[in-house]
Chains A and B, each alone.
Chain A
Amino acid sequence: MESEKAKIHPPPPGGVDAKMKDEKAYPIILLTEALTSFGAFLLSYYNFIHNNLYTIILTTMEALNVPQQICAIVLLATLLVAVFAMTVAGAFLRICQISFMLLIPSILWFSNLDWLQILELPINLQLFKTDLPFTFTLYSGLLIVSCETLHYFLFQIKRTRDELLSRGAYKADVGKVTMKQLKFSSTLTALCMLTTVTITNIAFVLKTTLQNITNQIIYPYIALGTISATITIICILAYLKVQARKSP
């Protein structure tokens, strides 16, 4: 009859129901992820169908004796199935990335440097011509990247939540923390979006003001771009160094 170890820390008998009940935070996170990713997908799909690339795909398929309507339906169905599969798998970030890929042709149409034309390749960025205005494409891009950033925060929240629960924290406590973290992260993302929009608008105002000066520089885009990129990278590195030194 060997000595057996007594059980340590069993679940509290009285307060189990009160403390262990599932919290609302997790479904809210999932709902936020699903809604934002699906919204991003619809927005990017709308941009895509107004792009010349979409018309080219349909024309090519028509040449292969596939009617345009069927081709459009099949394409949409395929994308929706992919989105649904990713939603079920919980890969919401992937949906955002697919959405951004659908938006890329429309964004590239507004490029100032057409390297494909410069390199004298048979195709160029004219291929990605879009019917939508510049502002719409710009804000679509900003929204999708914001969604991606929000998803990054949500992923962190879910990871922290799972870790805390696995370490034995009460679901009610974790639920409260998750809700507050979710509110804070969503507010921060909205703030980022707002700041970016403000900076973008200020940049457009400055662009018209500084046009006279930039016109005097030879290859203004390359010169200013290189300078601003270098400054940005140096500033970021310096900032990160300061932050790293600040934390213990």
Chain B
Amino acid sequence: MLTSLVWKLLGSFSALFLTGMLFGNIPLLCSSLIPLIALVFSLHFEEPHEIRVERIENKISAWINDTVEIKTKIEANQGIGIITVADTLPEHFELKEGNNFHVFWKGFSKFSETLNYKVKCTKRGIYHIGPVHVESRHFSGLHQTRINEYPMAAELVVRPRPLGVKRIRDPKIQSKVPMPIAAVTKLGMLTTDFREIRHYCWGDPYRLINWKATARLTSNPSSPPFVNDFEREGKRIVWMFLDASPYMRTGTTTENAFEYAVQAVLGLTQFYLARNCYVALYVYNDDERLLLPDCGRRQEYKVLKEILTVEPKTKAHHESLEIAVEKCQGHVKGSNPYFIIITMVRKDNIQELLNGVRRLRKISRIARGKPQILIIHVSGYCIAARGLYERAAAIMLEIKNNQLIRLLRRSGAHVIPWNPKRQRFTHLLLVGLTQR
């Protein structure tokens, strides 16, 4: 398709030519030839075509906040003019080096260039980079610009970094919190995984006594000797309930309460799965996303895959914790699993949480043993706070939340408030430890 600019050159020619004809004027007639010849010559050179675009890598996997290099090869065989190449980047991506929009000149020779740039993956998820938009422009704008879209989407999987959860190996401290170590069943075969050094208890095999540690650590001759304790082959079940309510979006799009909650879920999943536990995940307020209890690397992969696509809702979804528990109770009944609820405790959802905890206690009562419920309260206000005044306001809001947390504790759950800006997740799980 020709553009209206053709008429500009043609207009100059016509004006000179017709005036020249009218007056029989040779200089005017000769002058009229210049715009005409310019038009003919310009139209003779077409804009670049026969363009080939090739992605160097089609699938890239990265951790969150990693920088990834994206390479695209462009070739053009025919035409003369300008080629612009634009790679569509997903939202939340930060351009670190290079540019995803490039301009090239295609001369008489064959054109071949590699477009490369680096992006920082600021948010977890499965993204598609592309399609590649290629524009070929006529050098003088006489032809319409050709816009081609090459659907060469490269898949980029951005995995969240799981928060490291470590075991406590000090024999002098004991956890009040239902810690994962204590969660492992006491029955089962001993493995070769070292757990801790503890005092000798009645029934422990003599071969497990650590004489060196006993000599070094015991000051009182009447105190029992120390023994090496090893992990047992236990198949305890851990149920994790992740809240995907709109208030979990508190913070920025890349740094909010939900993002930290996701990291906590992944860290805990890895921790429990490494200790042969069954892990189940339920994302409530998010269209019933349920992963049934399973163990091993496959479950870890499944949790990761599921968590990559989870986003907190923008509108309130009426699925309370109680409803979520009701939906899972068929899988829970008869066992005494750990329940870990990761949420943001607020005045709006306190009743829902209390009902949920009550429901969990009820279904756990059927099985023997005391129900163990852990609520991790992600402090969203502290995440969102910027500056001194906002931080002070966030602390005040958190103080206001303390009475809600007390209510939850009274209902039988153990609540850990977590400010990701100040506390590391590993340190967080040490809260409530006492000297033996």
Which residues of A are found within 8 Å of B18, using beta-carbon distances? 229
Contact of A232 among B17, B34, B137 (CB under 8 A): B17
Contact of A138 among B27, B89, B144, B249 (CB under 8 A): B27
Indicate if the CB atoms of B95 and A10 lie closer than 8 Å.
yes
| Size band of the interface chain B makes with A | 35 or more
User: CA A246 – CA B94 in complex, angstroms?
Assistant: 41
Q: Mark B1-30, 1 if CB is under 8 A from A, else 0.
A: 110011011101000111001111111101
Give the nearest-CB partner of A239 in chain B: B40
Task: Given A8-B91, A19-B99, answer yes or no on A3-B82 (Cβ-Cβ < 8 Å).
Answer: no
Enumerate A174-219 residues with CB–CB distance to B below 8 Å.
Answer: 174, 176-177, 180-181, 184-185, 188-189, 191-193, 195-196, 199-200, 203
Q: How far apart are B370's CB and chain A's nearest CB, in angstroms?
A: 38
Indicate if the CB atoms of B28 and A248 lie closer than 8 Å.
no
Indicate if the CB atoms of A107 and B252 lie closer than 8 Å.
no
User: CA A181 – CA B103 in complex, angstroms?
Assistant: 12
Which residues of A are found within 8 Å of B96, using beta-carbon distances? 12-14
Which residues of B are found within 8 Å of A239, using beta-carbon distances? 40, 43
- The reply to whether the CB of A173 lies closer than 8 angstroms to some CB of chain B is yes
User: CA A50 – CA B181 in complex, angstroms?
Assistant: 106
Which residues of B are found within 8 Å of A170, using beta-carbon distances? 99, 102-103
Interface centre among B26, B40, B91, B384 (most CB of A within 10 A): B26
Contact of B137 among A5, A10, A160, A191 (CB under 8 A): A160
The stretch that binds B, out of A51-59, A67-75, A78-86, A144-152, is A144-152
Task: Given A12-B98, A141-B28, answer yes or no on A156-B390 (Cβ-Cβ < 8 Å).
Answer: no
Contact of A1 among B80, B93, B250 (CB under 8 A): B250
- The reply to whether the CB of A164 lies closer than 8 angstroms to some CB of chain B is yes
Indicate if the CB atoms of A169 and B139 lie closer than 8 Å.
no
Which residues of B are found within 8 Å of A196, using beta-carbon distances? 30-31, 33-34, 37
Indicate if the CB atoms of A156 and B5 lie closer than 8 Å.
yes
Indicate if the CB atoms of A113 and B146 lie closer than 8 Å.
no
Task: Given A5-B252, A138-B30, A196-B33, answer yes or no on A168-B24 (Cβ-Cβ < 8 Å).
Answer: no
Indicate if the CB atoms of B139 and A185 lie closer than 8 Å.
yes
Which residues of A are found within 8 Å of B137, using beta-carbon distances? 160
Indicate if the CB atoms of A8 and B93 lie closer than 8 Å.
yes
Interface SS, A side: helix
Indicate if the CB atoms of B141 and A164 lie closer than 8 Å.
no
Task: Given A3-B251, A12-B97, answer yes or no on A112-B25 (Cβ-Cβ < 8 Å).
Answer: yes
Indicate if the CB atoms of B253 and A111 lie closer than 8 Å.
no
- The reply to whether the CB of B101 lies closer than 8 angstroms to some CB of chain A is yes
- The reply to whether the CB of B402 lies closer than 8 angstroms to some CB of chain A is no
Task: Given A108-B23, A113-B23, A142-B31, answer yes or no on A9-B105 (Cβ-Cβ < 8 Å).
Answer: no
User: CA A145 – CA B22 in complex, angstroms?
Assistant: 19
Q: Mark B130-151, 1 if CB is under 8 A from A, else 0.
A: 0000000101110110100000
- The reply to whether the CB of B218 lies closer than 8 angstroms to some CB of chain A is no
Enumerate B57-81 residues with CB–CB distance to A below 8 Å.
Answer: 80
Closest CB pairs A-B (n = 6): A112-B24, A111-B23, A1-B384, A113-B24, A180-B105, A145-B31
- Apart from A8-B89, A111-B25, A142-B34, list 20 A-B contacts with CB within 8 A: A1-B250, A3-B384, A12-B96, A13-B96, A15-B98, A19-B99, A110-B25, A112-B24, A112-B26, A138-B26, A141-B31, A145-B31, A145-B32, A169-B102, A188-B38, A200-B33, A229-B17, A243-B2, A247-B2, A247-B47
A–B pairs, 20, beta carbons within 8 Å: A1-B381, A3-B249, A3-B251, A4-B252, A5-B252, A6-B255, A12-B99, A107-B25, A110-B25, A141-B31, A156-B141, A167-B84, A168-B99, A173-B103, A174-B103, A181-B82, A196-B31, A229-B21, A232-B17, A247-B46
